[in-house]
Chains A and B, each alone.
Chain A
Amino acid sequence: DGGITQSPKYLFRKEGQNVTLSCEQNLNHDAMYWYRQDPGQGLRLIYYSQIVNDFQKGDIAEGYSVSREKKESFPLTVTSAQKNPTAFYLCASSMLVAVNNEQFFGPGTRLTVL
């Protein structure tokens, strides 16, 4: 079954800690994305990657970091520099061909800062 997996489903972080959210896809997609979702604000792009070993900042990259060492994997680290990290985080992937630019989403990780 092809798809995107995210882990963990729920994550709790103490202030000052870095945490890493996992995202894996077996769709053979070139592009991968991380979004943050807050109530009433839709999805905001954190980082995206179109090719292995390359990634670009989105609209709200401050306090986050990513890596893309393998095509299938795009982990997101929420650093202690992110002052308000409590949110729902969504990973997505897509092909880069025009008509197939629909994004496929993982089930999400809900991060809560204690």
Chain B
Amino acid sequence: EAQVTQNPRYLITVTGKKLTVTCSQNMNHEYMSWYRQDPGLGLRQIYYSMNVEVTDKGDVPEGYKVSRKEKRNFPLILESPSPNQTSLYFCASSLSPKSPEQYFGPGTRLTVT
């Protein structure tokens, strides 16, 4: 089944404890992105990647890191999480510039206390 998977789906952590949210797609997509969704602010792009080893900042990259070492994986790293990073996170992928339809993962709900 073609899909984007994220792990974990739910995470409660404490301020300053490094964490990684994994994202994987099995559709051989070139593009991958991370978004956060907050009430009243909608969906905002954190980082995106156009291919292996090619990443760039979205609208809200502060406090986050990403890497794209393999085409199928695009992990989101929070080196020192803070309470303002409590949010619902989505990973998405799309095939190519000519086929940019985005397919989303199920989301990861992160709470930082």
- B is bound to A: no
